[in-house]
Amino acid sequence: MAFAPQIKIPATYMRGGTSKGVFFNLADLPAQAQQPGAYRDAMLLRVIGSPDPYGKQTDGMGGATSSTSKTVILSKSEHDGYDVDYLFGQVSIDKAFVDWSGNCGNLTAAVGAFAVNNGLVDAGRIPDNGVVMVRVWQVNISKAINVHVPITNGEVQETGNFELDGVTFPAAEVKVEFMDPADGEGDMFPTGNLVDDLETPEFGSLKATMINAGIPTIFVNAADIGYTGTELQDDINGDPVALAKFESLRAHGAVKMGLISDISEAAGRQHTPKIAFVAPPAAYVSSSGKPIDIDDIDVLVRALSMGKLHHAMMGTAAVAIATAAAIPGTLVNDAAGGVDRANVVFGHPSGTLGVGAEAALVNGKWTATKAVMSRSARILMEGRVHIPEPQI
């Protein structure tokens, strides 16, 4: 029996923040994959190694976690005033599903470097030494992002002494600005309230802050669901009953936010919304063994991504945290002391992260103009991925 040879696709494997993903230049993809649809999804699933009933993604580039089952497609921007269009695909590990409903904030830090390295930024904008601001149009959510990429001798500088909790080695600092991060089509608080009563079968009535800034996120108080906010991954991810409760909470919140019309639709929207729980500062030991003192942080936050507690924090959820912390009356702001703040340092399973946001009350509605954080990024490998021709 004859078998078709594998196809070879130029790709770059990159770390951005606390995530890893496979990056593609749109022009390098097979013709059928240069348009959205079943062929593109099948190609990305095979690249990553999904669906994998073993949950390991052994036969692909994925790392069997939500942070490492990611794909990015970049192209010269079709929008005036931008350098690059950035499309993000969150690949399910055990299902034949690519979720295009949101952005990845962590991988955004690597978008600028990829764009420079692949000629997607005009050469005249790149200094010999200094920083180039790569103007990114985020296609999934139709938002602008500025990625500040350090340049040394005309090339992207990846090495440095910037340390990011959740990443083992230091690297060059990359500042990322999420412009107008709130939902542009509706209220940043979809229900119109800073805090709602969210009804779920498992928890009954819970206080919840539901915000669409960076990524749709549902915040609840850790104490209301039986946690302290100092939990690490193993405390939750090894408990299937707890994970099922979180998924139910996520589904009911998604309905209340207007993202879906029925909880049954949540399975087809795994990437959004996110679930996070917050608590006032407390001392704990991070997953690396690093002690976090109560005075090191303003608030504790733990968040789930793709059904599991994240090992650090999703970049887009960090935007939601920063924005909610800047608005008095939200659960995040209350847990952080209930004071006006433009910056917040939160504790996550791997350590701490400082983020900032600018928010204002305009005509009776809260709006955010910008959220800022520092990340790092570097190329892990570049070349070609090999996969069998997708059969659609």
Name the residue with tokens 């409760």: 245
The Cα 145–Cα 137 span in angstroms is 6
- Catalytic pick among 14, 188, 306, 314: 314
Note whether 357 and 178 are within 8 A (CB): no
Reply yes or no: is the peptide bond before residue 349 cis, omega within 30 of 0.
no
How would you class 274 by CB atoms within 10 Å of its CB: exposed for 0-12, middle for 13-18, buried for 19 or more? buried
Radius of gyration (C-alpha) of the chain in whole angstroms: 20
Contact 200, 251 (CB under 8 A): no
| Contact in structure between 40 and 33 (CB atoms under 8 Å) | yes
Residues contacting 12, CB < 8 A, separation 6+ = 22, 23, 24, 114, 117, 379, 381, 382
Could you tell me where the beta strands, DSSP code E, fall in 77-114?
Answer: 84-91, 98-99
Catalytic pick among 104, 210, 313, 373: 104
Q: What burial class does residue 253 get, using C-beta atoms within 10 Å of its C-beta: 0-12 exposed, 13-18 middle, 19+ buried?
A: buried
Question: Catalytic annotation on 314?
Answer: yes
- What span, in angstroms and rounded, lies between the C-alpha atoms of 306 and 267? 10
Q: Closest Cα to residue 77, out of 32, 160, 136?
A: 136
Give every CB contact of residue 230 below 8 A, 6+ residues apart in sequence: 279, 282, 284, 300, 347
**Known catalytic residue at 188:** no
Question: How far apart are the C-alpha atoms of 62 and 306, rounded to whole Å?
Answer: 14
Cα–Cα distance between 7 and 16 in angstroms, integer? 27
Give the pairing type, strands 196-200 and 204-213.
antiparallel
Rounded Cα distance, 44 and 338, in Å = 44
Separation CA 335–CA 316 (nearest Å) = 20
Residues annotated catalytic, as ranges = 104, 314
